Chain A
Amino acid sequence: MNSAIPSQKKSLRFHARSFVAFTLSPEAPLEKWLGDLDRWTENSPGFFAGRPVLLDLSILKPAGDEIIARLVSQLATRGIRVYAIEAGDRQTLGPDLPPLLKGAKPVVIDEPHATGESKSKASALSEESADTRSLIIRSPIRSGQSILHQHGDVIVMGSVGYGSEIIAAGSIHVYGTLRGRAFAGSAGNSEARIFCSRNEAELLAVDGWYMTADEMEPATRGRPAQSFLDNGVIRVAPLD
C-alpha cells in the first residue's frame, strides 16, 4: 500500500490465548538425556508432532547460546520444534533462538521419572468444547499407532497393542486387552477415567498424573480394571 494514504484510526484488538504446552527439562549429561528421550519417543512416535513444546533450561543451565542452539537443532532433528525457552535467570537469548518465555505457570507437575522425560503443564483455561463426540475404534490398535482424540471419549472395541498409545480429552474405554499406554483427560480433566477389560497397560495416565506398569498392584493386572484420580492421586483398581 501507499504510504501517502492517511492511516485510518482502526482500533487494534488483542486476544489472549492460553494453551497447554509440554515442557522438556534437559538434564546433564545431555547425551544420556537425549538417549532417554529417543527411547521414550520410540515407543510413542509422533508424540510431539504438532504439539507446542517449551524448553526449560533451569536444570541444565547451559553456559552459552551455542549450546542452546545445538540442543534446539538436536530436538528439531527428532521432530520436536521448540516454541519458546524458559531460561531461569537469563535475561536475553540470541536472535537465532526461540523466544524467551517468562511467567509460565506449571499447574500439574509430574514427579520426574525414570522415563527421563518430565512433563509439566502450563496454565490452561480449558474452554468447554461443544464437540464432545466419542471416537469409536472397531479395529485393534497396533504397536506404534497413536490415537489422539481432543474432544470426548475414545472407545476401542478390540485390543490396544504394546507400544501403542491413546490420548483422549475424555475417558478411555477398551473392551479388549489394554497393553499400550492410555492418557485420559489429556486437556485437563480430572474426572476422566480409563476402563479396560484386561489391564496389561504399560502406562495409565489421568489428567497428567501417571502410573507405570511397575507401580501397579499385581492384583490389578491381567483383569478388568479402571484408573482414576482420587484426591489428585492416580489409582488403578480392579473392576470386578
Chain B
Amino acid sequence: MAKVLVVTSGKGGVGKTTSTAALGAALAQTGKRVAVIDFDVGLRNLDLVMGAERRVVFDLINVTQGVAKLSQALIRDKRVDTLFLLPASQTRDKDALTEEGVARVIEELREKFDYVLCDSPAGIERGAQLAMRFADEAVIVTNPEVSSVRDSDRIIGLLDSRTLRAEHGQNITKYILVTRYDAARAARGEMLNIDDVLDILSTPLLGIIPESEGVLRASNVGSPVTLNEPTNAAARAYIDAARRLEGEDVPIVLPVHRRGLLDRMFGRRAA
C-alpha cells in the first residue's frame, strides 16, 4: 500500500511543483515505485518540470470521469522507470474535479505504488483541498519569508481539519520543507531564520533547500534537479529530504554562505 503525500503551501511560487518533481525522482531513484499527480487543473506545470509535456494524452480529469483508464493516463519517466506522472488537464478548471473521482484514482494508485505525491495548486480553495483530502502525510513548502510562513500556517490548519484522516480523528504527519533558502541573505538578516519559521509553524523540518540556479536550469530543461544535477547543493538537499521521508535519520545542515576571496579580504559587503 502506498503512502499518499500532498505537497502544499498555500502561497504560490514557493516551489511546490519543483519540490514534488525533485522528491518524487529522488524516491524513485532508490527503487521505490512513485506516482506524482498534478492537481493544478487548468495551469498544469508538473509535466513541464518533468519533461513529459510532449507525451500527455489523457489527464487526471479524464481518469476521474472514467473517460480513460489510469494505466492510459500515467506517463512513465524516461530516465527513472519507477517514476510515473499523472498530468493535470490544461483545458478544464478545478470545478471539474470531484471528490469521488479523486478518491477512486488515489485508491487505485495506492495499490500499485509505494509513494503517491500530490502536487497541490496554490490557494486554499477546492483544488488545494482535494489535493490534500486523501493524504496520509503532508510536505508544506515554505520560503523563509513572512507571507509564505503565514500561508503555511493556514494550510496546516486545513490539513488538521479538512483531510479525511483528520475527520476520522487520525493524525496527519506534517513536515516543513524550507525552499529558496539564501544563506547570504540569511547571514545579513534579510530573511526569517529557520528557528523562527519552525517556531511559528511548530512542525518538524524535512529539509532546507538552498536557493540555487541549478533548480531553475533543471526546470528549464524539463528534468527534476535531483536527476539533472545530482551533485548540486539543492539536489543533495532534496535527496536527503527524500531519505528522511523514508524514515532514515539524516542530520539537517544549515546551508552556509561561502564567502569569496574578496569578501574575506574586505570583510562584510556593504549590502
A residues bordering B, Cβ < 8 Å? 139-140, 142-145, 158-159, 161-164, 176-177, 179
Q: Within 8 Å of chain A (Cβ to Cβ): is B260?
A: no
Tell me, yes or no, whether B215 is within 8 Å of chain A by CB: no
One digit per residue, 1 when the CB lies within 8 angstroms of any chain A CB and 0 when it does not, for chain B 190-220 equals 0000000001101000000000000000000
- Number of B interface residues at 8 Å Cβ cutoff, please give it: 12
Would A143 and B160 count as touching, CB distance under 8 A?
no
**Interface set of B (CB-CB < 8 Å, partner A):** 124, 150-151, 153-154, 156-158, 160, 199-200, 202
**Those 5 A-B pairs whose CB atoms lie nearest each other, nearest first:** A142-B157, A143-B154, A143-B153, A161-B153, A144-B154
Which residues of chain A come closer than 8 Å to B199, judged between CB atoms? Answer: 159, 177
Interface core residue of A144, A159, A164 (most chain B CB under 10 Å): A144
Asked if B157 contacts A145 (CB within 8 A), the reply is: yes
Whether the Cβ atoms of B156 and A142 lie closer than 8 Å is: yes
Interchain CB contact under 8 A, A159 and B154:
no
A163–B202 CB distance below 8 A: no
Given contacts A158-B202, A159-B200, A179-B200, contact A139 B150 (CB under 8 A): no
Query: Are B160 and A142 in touch, CB under 8 angstroms?
Result: yes
Q: A142-B153, A143-B154 are in contact. Are A161 and B200 (CB under 8 A)?
A: yes
- Chain A residues, Cβ within 8 Å of B200: 159, 161-162, 177, 179
Cα distance A158–B200 in the bound complex, in angstroms: 10
CB nearest to B10 among chain A residues = A143
List, in ascending order, chain A residues with CB within 8 A of B124's CB: 144
- B160 and A163 contact, CB distance less than 8 A: no
Give bound CA distance, A13 to B124, whole Å.
Answer: 50
Report Cα–Cα, A142/B158, bound state, in Å. Answer: 9
Can you name the residue of chain A whose Cβ is closest to the Cβ of B147? A162
Instruction: Please name 20 further chain A to chain B contacts, defined as beta carbons within 8 Å, in addition to the given A142-B154, A144-B158, A162-B150, sorted by A numbering.
Output: A139-B160, A140-B202, A142-B153, A142-B156, A142-B157, A142-B160, A143-B150, A143-B151, A143-B154, A143-B157, A144-B124, A159-B199, A161-B153, A162-B153, A162-B200, A163-B150, A163-B154, A176-B202, A177-B200, A179-B200
